[in-house]
Structure 1
Amino acid sequence: MTKKPLAYGLAAGLAATLSLAPTAAFAASADASSADAATPASAATASTQNSVQARIDALLAKSSLSPELKARIHAAAATLPANWATTVAAKQKQYGLTGTTFYEQSQSLINPDDYQCQSTSLRDWLTAEMSDVDFINLLLLSLLGGDQIPTYDALLFGQQSKANTFGIDGSYTNELNREMTNLKRFWDFDGSDIQLIPMHGKVYQDLDRITHVYEVLYGMDHATALSYAELVQDIVLSDPGMAGGENPYFTFNAFAFDPTPEDAAEFNLTKRIIVGDGILQGTRGIGLGDKAAPLGILAHEYGHQVQYAKNLFDSPFTGPEATRRIELMADAFGTYFVVHARGSSLNAQRTLDVQKSFYNVGDCSFGSNGHHGTPNQRLKSSQFAVNLIEDAPNQGHKLPALVFDARFEKALPSIVAPDAS
C-alpha cells in the first residue's frame, strides 16, 4: 500500500536533486559517509561540511561575482550548520516534496548527469530563457539553500486573496480564479478550504520575505537568517540573467499540497494549489497559451485534491507504478472537468491536442518513485476522460468522483499496457 504524500505536482510534487537541498553535493556526501559503517556520525557531518565548503570554494574560484561578495559567501560556507544536509532533507520529508516533471526538466539543464531527458519544446524554451544565467551563480545559490525561496514562500506563507495575480504579467488571474471556483462546485466534496496560491520569483526582491523563509523553515535566529538572505538576494540581483528572480526557472512548477495536522497547527496551513509564473510562461512560450493549457494545469492539481478528499492514494501498487497510477488518475480527473459541459466546456479535440504537446515535456524518472507515466499513457488517460463524456447518454450528467475512479481503475491496465510497435 502506498502512503499518501503531502504534495503532488502536475507530475508528482516538488523538488529533488538540486532544489530544496543545497544541491546534490549534500546527498552524495551523506551517502558516501553513511556507506562506510566505520565512519562515526560526527565524522560524517564534518565530511559533509568540508565537502560543501570545498565545492563552494571551487565555484567561487570560477565565479565572476565581486571580490567582496565572494568573500562573504566563503565566510558563510564556513558557518553553515554541521547538520545542514540532514536538516534540509528532513524538511523535504516533512513536506512530502519530491520531483516533478517540470522540476526535473529544469534540473536536467544544470545537472544533466542526473537526468536522462530527451529534448522537448518546453525544455528547449527553458534552455533559451536560461541562456544568460551564470550557472556558477545558480549553483552557489543552490548550495546556500536559496534556489527554492519562491516555492517555500508560497507554500508556507501564501494566502488566497483577491489581490493575488497569476502569471508574470497577471494575465492568467481571472481565468484561474474563475476555474478554481468552478472546480469547487464541480466535484462532490467540500473544497472550500483549498486555497489557490501564486508563486512569484520577485520574492527575491524582498529581503524580509527571504529572511522569513530561513527563520521559519530552518529555525535560524533572525541575524543568521538575515545574513544568508542577504547573500541569496545579492547573488540573484547581481546576475542579469536571473532577472531579479523573475527568470522562469525559479517558478517552473505547479503542485497540490495537503498539510498534516501538525503543519496545519504550526503554520496555519490549509490545503492549497500553488501555480508558478514560470510554468505559465513556458506553456505560452511553446504556443500553448490558450485556455486548455493553464486550465489543464489547475484542473490536474485539483484532481490531486480530489484524491486527498476521497482517499484514493492507497493501491496494491508500489514504487513507480503507484505514482504513475496517481498521476494518470489526476490527468483523467483534470481532463474530465476541462471538457465536461458543466466544467470548463472546452473543445475535446483541441484539449487533447494541447495536452499531447503539454505531456511531451518528457519524463526523466522511468525507474524512480517519481515516475508519472509516458506521454502516450498520459494522453490515453485524457482520452479516457473524453470518451466517458462523449459516451454518456446525458451530456449534462457528471459522475461522482468515486464512480469516476472505479471506471478509471478498470481502464488503467489498458492505459499502461506496452505500446511499442
Structure 2
Amino acid sequence: MKTNYLLTGVIVIAIMLGSCTKEDTYVEPDLNAVYATSIVNKFPNLSQGTTVNIDLGINEFSYYDNLFKVVEPSECGTTAFDEAIDETISENLDQLGAQFYSIYSDINFYMSLVDTSPQYFGVDGIYTNLMKKRVKDQERFWDMPNEVAVKGQHNANFKNEDLLRETLPFLYGPTADIDALIEEIYVINEESTFLIENPFVSFDGFAINIDNFFGKGQGDIIVISDGIVSVMTKTGIDANIIWTGILAHEWGHQIQFNNNWSYPVEDGNVPESTRSTELEADFFAAYYMTHKRGATYNWKRVEEFFDLFFNIGDCSFESDGHHGTPIQRMDAAHRGFELAQSAQKKGHILSPEAVHEIFIAQLPEIVE
C-alpha cells in the first residue's frame, strides 16, 4: 500500500503509494513526491554512531514494483522545496532517525487512517477552525456533503498510547506483543533527537479510499500532516494558503475516485497514468482556489504556493509515481485558474465532469 525507502545512514525519501481499484483500495501517489533527497554528505559521521538493537521491522506492503513504461523526458529540474526539506532534516538528524525513520513513517501513515478521534490540524490545533471551514467549502463547491473524512497527521501520535495500541496490530499482527513494541517505541522517542521532534516525521499528504478496511465505516479519507505545512511556511508562504491548496489538490483526487475516469494514456503505462491524475488534481485545485465562489484567492497570492509546492514536480520519468515536471504542474494549475476566471462574471461553478472534459482537452498541450 505504501513504501518508504530508507538506506541505513542515508535518508532517501521515495514515498510511493500503489493503486488498486476503488472497490478494493486506492491510494494516490504521495503528494510531496520527494525523490532521492539524500543528506549523507552533510553527516559524514552518521554511520559511525551506535545503533539501537531493536527490531521494529514490519512486513512489506503490496505496491507497484514493476516498471511498465516510462514517460518521455522533458525539461525538468529540482525546486526550492527540495532545499527546504534538506534544511529541515539537517536540523537534528541523528543515527536513530536514520535507522528508524522509514518504520516511523509507516506507523504514522496507518495511525492517520485508524484514528477516529476528533481531528485537529497543526501543532496544538491552531489551524483546526480554518480546515473545518475549508472542508465545508469543498463540500459545497463540488456538491459532496459528508463524503470525505479529512484528518491531521502529527508527531504527537507517537506519544498516544491508545492510538499506538489500536494501530500496531495491523502492522505486526494480532498475536504481536504490543506492550513490548510500545515500550520500544518510547525508548526510541526518548533517545532520538530527530524522531517525533522533526517535522519530517509527519510528512504525508494523500487521498485514499479504503472501503471499510479498518471496519469503522470509513471510506474516502484525506490526510494532511503538520510537517508539510511547517516546512513550507519557512519559505514565507501564507499557512492558510498552504492548508487550502493541499486540501484542494487531494479533494481533486477524491473526485477522480468517485468518477473512475479514464485517461488518454497508452495501456500499461503507469507513470503516464499517474502523471495525468496528478496534473488534473492541480487543475481542479487551482480552479477552486481562485474561483469567485471558491477560496477566492487571486492568482498572485496562489502562484507563490503553486511555485513552491505544486511546482515541486519531479524528474522521475521512469517512476510509476511520476507526478509531472515542475513546468507541467505549474501549467496545469494556471489553466485551472484561467478556467475559473472565465466564469467569474456569472460565478457559475462547473460540474466535476465538465472540468474533467476541459482538462482532458488541454492535457496534450500541458505535457508537450
Alpha-carbon deviation of 1:230? 1.9
In structure 2, which of residues 138, 141, 150 is the aligned counterpart of residue 196 of structure 1? 150
Is the partner of 2:92 in helix, strand or coil? coil
TM-score, normalised via structure 1 length:
0.70
For residues 326 and 362 of structure 1, the distance between their equivalents in structure 2, rounded to whole angstroms, comes to 13
For residues 240 and 12 of structure 1, the distance between their equivalents in structure 2, rounded to whole angstroms, comes to 24
Q: What percent of counterpart residues are identical?
A: 27
Amino acid aligned to 2:193: P
CA separation of 1:191 and 1:307: change in aligned 2, threshold 3 A: farther
In structure 2, which of residues 320, 332, 340 is the aligned counterpart of residue 369 of structure 1? 320
In the TM superposition, 1:259-338 aligns within 5 A as 259-260=210-211, 263=213, 266-313=215-262, 315-317=264-266, 318-338=269-289
For residues 228 and 219 of structure 1, the distance between their equivalents in structure 2, rounded to whole angstroms, comes to 12
In the TM superposition, 1:5-404 aligns within 5 A as 6-8=26-28, 11=31, 62-64=48-50, 70=52, 73=54, 76=55, 87-90=59-62, 120-142=79-101, 145-159=103-117, 161=118, 164-188=119-143, 190-221=144-175, 224-242=177-195, 245-260=196-211, 263=213, 266-313=215-262, 315-317=264-266, 318-392=269-343, 394-404=345-355
Is the partner of 2:104 in helix, strand or coil? coil
Amino acid aligned to 2:140: R
Deviations 1:160-219 (A, max 9, x none): x3xx3211242222212101101001114x341311111011111233432332213331
Deviations 1:255-292 (A, max 9, x none): 1111135x16x343231111100001011111112432
Alpha-carbon deviation of 1:120? 3.6
Structure 1 unpaired stretches of 5+? 19-58, 97-116
Give the conservation status (yes or no) of the 8 Å contact 2:28–2:208.
Answer: yes
CA separation of 1:335 and 1:406: change in aligned 2, threshold 3 A: same
Deviations 1:85-127 (A, max 9, x none): xx3224x68xx9xxxxxxxxxxxxxxxxxxxx96543332232
Give the conservation status (yes or no) of the 8 Å contact 1:299–1:334.
Answer: yes
Give the conservation status (yes or no) of the 8 Å contact 2:78–2:314.
Answer: no
Give the conservation status (yes or no) of the 8 Å contact 1:389–1:395.
Answer: no
Alpha-carbon deviation of 1:3? 5.4
Amino acid aligned to 1:154: S
Amino acid aligned to 1:340: H
Alpha-carbon deviation of 1:134? 4.2
For residues 356 and 337 of structure 1, the distance between their equivalents in structure 2, rounded to whole angstroms, comes to 17
Per residue, is there more helix in 1 or in 2? 1
TM-score, normalised via structure 2 length:
0.79
Amino acid aligned to 1:133: N
CA separation of 1:273 and 1:9: change in aligned 2, threshold 3 A: farther
Coordinate RMSD, CA, aligned: 3.1
Deviates more, 1:267-276 or 1:388-397: 388-397
Give the conservation status (yes or no) of the 8 Å contact 1:292–1:351.
Answer: yes
Deviates more, 1:250-259 or 1:407-416: 250-259
Largest Rg, 1 or 2: 1
Amino acid aligned to 1:148: D
For residues 263 and 32 of structure 2, the distance between their equivalents in structure 1, rounded to whole angstroms, comes to 15
CA separation of 1:151 and 1:132: change in aligned 2, threshold 3 A: same
Deviations 1:23-74 (A, max 9, x none): xxxxxxxxxxxxxxxxxxxxxxxxxxxxxxxxxxxx9994346xxxx45x2x
For residues 212 and 413 of structure 1, the distance between their equivalents in structure 2, rounded to whole angstroms, comes to 46
Is the partner of 1:294 in helix, strand or coil? helix
CA separation of 1:88 and 1:229: change in aligned 2, threshold 3 A: farther
CA separation of 1:386 and 1:147: change in aligned 2, threshold 3 A: closer
Amino acid aligned to 1:212: E
Give the conservation status (yes or no) of the 8 Å contact 1:293–1:355.
Answer: no
For residues 124 and 9 of structure 1, the distance between their equivalents in structure 2, rounded to whole angstroms, comes to 21
For residues 326 and 133 of structure 2, the distance between their equivalents in structure 1, rounded to whole angstroms, comes to 28
For residues 407 and 297 of structure 1, the distance between their equivalents in structure 2, rounded to whole angstroms, comes to 22
CA separation of 1:383 and 1:147: change in aligned 2, threshold 3 A: closer
Amino acid aligned to 2:104: G
CA separation of 1:316 and 1:128: change in aligned 2, threshold 3 A: closer
Alpha-carbon deviation of 1:337? 0.6
- Report how many aligned residue pairs link the two structures: 328
CA separation of 1:17 and 1:131: change in aligned 2, threshold 3 A: closer
